[in-house]
Every structure is written in structure tokens, then in C-alpha cells.
Structure 1
């Protein structure tokens, strides 16, 4: 099948899915399966979103809340990647480090990021540190796990060739393990990015003084469902953009390796 035809079919299927969803939403709101106050029509939500671009809610406009959320998210996600990827590669190479870190990591990684909220609020309040800690807790495990797996399953012949040429441990990690584990590492970053973004919204519902999560919880208190839906749509769209960007990077890496 022509790839362009396949992509065209996928685009039409995606469009049909969106039309079905919005059609179902419109029908449910039109017949008032729930009171209009709690289930507004799609164009009412769109209108409210446009108004929020100019009219502040909870002290800031929609784009200002989103910018605050993105800033927190990038801080926590980049910190998780900067710590998790190198540590995963080191654990994949040094067995003693793997034995030291794995028991502690396996004990902590099953704690849901939202469970760190009370500690984050007590330690940092609504400042920078609290949301960063919660995002880090959500984004760190996939970074480490995938980098570790990528390093552990590198073909032995590449490592032996590097050792024959006199490469030391750190050089093998940088020039052999890192390139060979790149597809697995980027796949981990995709999972990490989504987990970190979800953790951010949970953190902002409880421990923040700005952001999309705070906007949504304030709108809930005001019984303004349209603003809650605007926040959910903003969260979903930005999360999709993150995933699309990382999928592009993943595809580029796979293409380069294949070539």
C-alpha cells in the first residue's frame, strides 16, 4: 500500500473518531442528560476558552496558567531525565551499583507520585520545590528503567570490540552503551514525559498557587464546569504535543540507526 494512502486513511479515521466524540458530547448536552451547568455544549466551552485568553480567572489568564504549568513540568521532567538516564546507564554497566540502587529503587518506584503531595506541601509549601518533587517522582522511574534495559541488552560484541581497542569503562558507557541504548532511552522518555505531565496536574490540584491544575480546582469550587473542561482540553492538547515531538525524535533515531 502507498504510504501516503495509508496516512490519508489514518487521518480520516482520526477525524471520524473526533467527530463521533464531539457529536456524542453535543447530543448528551443537548438532551440534558446532565444539567447544562455541569455538561455545557462544546461551543460554549470553546467560547469560554477564548474569553479566558483575555479575562483572568484565579488571578491569571489561561495562557499564563499554562505557562506556569509548563515551567514546572520542564523543571521536574528535565531533572528526572538528567538523573535517570545517566544512572540507568551506570547501573547497566557497573553490577555493584545495580546491586546497591535496585532494592531502594524497587521499593520507591511503586509509590504513586500523588502520594508525595503531603510531603511536598510540608517541605516546600506552594513554592518551586513541591511540584518539582512530584513531577520528578512520576517521570524518574521510566527514564532509569529504559536506560538500564538498553544498556544491559547491548550486544556483547560491541563491548568486546571497544575493550580490545583499549576503551575504559566511562568511555564504553559514552561511546557504546549510550548510542546503542538510545532507542530504548527515548521510548522511556516518552513514557516519562506523559507520567510527569500527569503528575504535574495532580500536584497543582493541591500544592500550587498558579497553573492549569489550580485553575481547574478553583473552577470546580465555583461550579464552573466550562472552565474545568477548558483546563482538561489544554492539558490533553499540550500532552499530545509533547508525545508527538518525542515520537518524531524516536522515529528520527530509528531511521538513522536503520540507515
Structure 2
């Protein structure tokens, strides 16, 4: 394994990578690798993004579309975490529940979240219920799997010590398995958040009346490439912020584990 980079080196390499990316973008637009309306310069996209903060597109400004997407994401992601984490821990402790749930879960988790869009549209229309279902389908499997695997690798001595003091069943789940599995659970939430956010944008491209995905598909229909790119950049930035926040929690737990 190579030497660890210092924080300054990491930042330097990150900035270099971003400059290289934008340099390639500017060069491709300058030599007209594609027509200007399909490959604008970066500053054209920035200008369009600033304009969208004031002038509505498809009925809403950029921040309003983003707020609608974030609201849908939060509802589906928190539901996936609230169901997936406890269920995963319970499956790790109760073998009978594991045997009941595993065949059903293994069948459902390989269905792509976007495949639920027709059902979501039929059952909920363009309301919040449809996107919530699709986000749940994307975020639920990682939340459950990591909680389940984390509970399986809890040191047996912790469980035996709890049993000596009279703990059993549910108490062992939330007093022993949950704290010991937190790093694995947070890692699952991190993966689930990314999958849920991607699932949301895919759903909004097909069935929604607001949101970043709707903004992008309406802009694509109008051949407005800068707005499509603004939507992609906004999607990526918020996705990075989600991952950064959960990654910070994961790092803090790993540093303080065992204290």
C-alpha cells in the first residue's frame, strides 16, 4: 500500500482533478466537439444556474425544485432507515425471523428501484407517496443488509456478558447489538442514501410534478442543455453533501469506538 497523503496533498490533487475536468470541458466546447446548444461552456451553465435562482423554470425556481426533491428524499430515506435497521438487527438475533425474511428479501432486493415507478404512479399519482416508495426501494436493502451483517459480527463476549446480567431478547438487540453494530449501520446508511438519491432523480424523470428530475426532463424536451447540466450539477453537489455528512459520522464513530 502506498504512503498516506497529507490533507494538503489530498486537497491539491482534488483541485488538480477538477481543473483537468473543466479544462477538457472547455477545450471540447471550444473546438465544437458538439454543437454549442448541446455542449455549452462552463460559464454558460453557471450563468443559467444563477438565472434559475430568480426566474422560474417549469413553474419553480432552482431552489424550489431542489427543496421538493430533498423533501421527497428525506421521507423515503428515513422510512427505509427506520424499517431496515431494526429489522436487520432483529434478523441477526432471531434465526426464525431470518429464515422467514431472507427468501422474500433476496427476491425483492434485486428489483431495480426504477421498476417500481409504474406501480408508484398507479398507486400514488404524482404525490409524495410514489417517490417515497421508489426511494425506499433503493435505500432499504443497504440499510437492512449492513445492520444484519453488523449484528452477526458482534463479539460473543459482549452478548454473554449481557446475558450474565439477565438481559435477553429485545434488550440484547438494542443494548448490545445496536451500539456494537453502529459503524456497519452508518456505512449502510451511507450507501442507502446514495442509492435513494439516485432512485429519486430517476423517478422524477418519469413521474413527478416538481423536483430536479422534472426540471431536467422538461429542459431536455426544450433542448435547453445548460438547464439539464445545472440539474446534474445540483444533483451531484447535494449527493456529495449527503455522503460527506454521513461519512463524517462514520469516521467519528470509528475514531471513538471502544472509548
Alpha-carbon distance, 1:255 to partner: 1.4
Alpha-carbon distance, 1:74 to partner: 0.2
In 2: Cα distance, 1:30 partner to 1:50 partner: 22
Indicate the residue corresponding to 2:72 in structure 1: 72
In 2: Cα distance, 1:106 partner to 1:153 partner: 20
In 2: Cα distance, 1:179 partner to 1:165 partner: 17
- Runs (4+) of structure 1 moved beyond 6 Å? none
Structure 2 residue runs of 5 or longer lacking an equivalent are: none
Q: Are positions 1:126 and 2:159 aligned together? A: no
TM-score, normalised on structure 1?
0.98
In 1: Cα distance, 2:44 partner to 2:226 partner: 7
1:10-89 aligned at under 5 Å gives the runs 10-89=10-89
In 2: Cα distance, 1:170 partner to 1:120 partner: 34
In 1: Cα distance, 2:177 partner to 2:165 partner: 15
Q: Deviations over 1:183-207 (max 9, x none)?
A: 0000000000000000000010011
In 1: Cα distance, 2:258 partner to 2:177 partner: 17
Alpha-carbon distance, 1:157 to partner: 1.0
Alpha-carbon distance, 1:258 to partner: 4.8
1:62-211 aligned at under 5 Å gives the runs 62-211=62-211
Alpha-carbon distance, 1:115 to partner: 0.4
DSSP 3-state at the match of 2:250:
helix
TM-score, normalised on structure 2?
0.98
In 2: Cα distance, 1:258 partner to 1:33 partner: 56
In 1: Cα distance, 2:118 partner to 2:170 partner: 39
Structure 1 residue runs of 5 or longer lacking an equivalent are: none
Q: CA RMSD in A?
A: 1.3
Q: How many residues are aligned here?
A: 258
Alpha-carbon distance, 1:43 to partner: 0.2
Q: Deviations over 1:156-178 (max 9, x none)?
A: 11111110110121111111000
In 2: Cα distance, 1:208 partner to 1:248 partner: 32
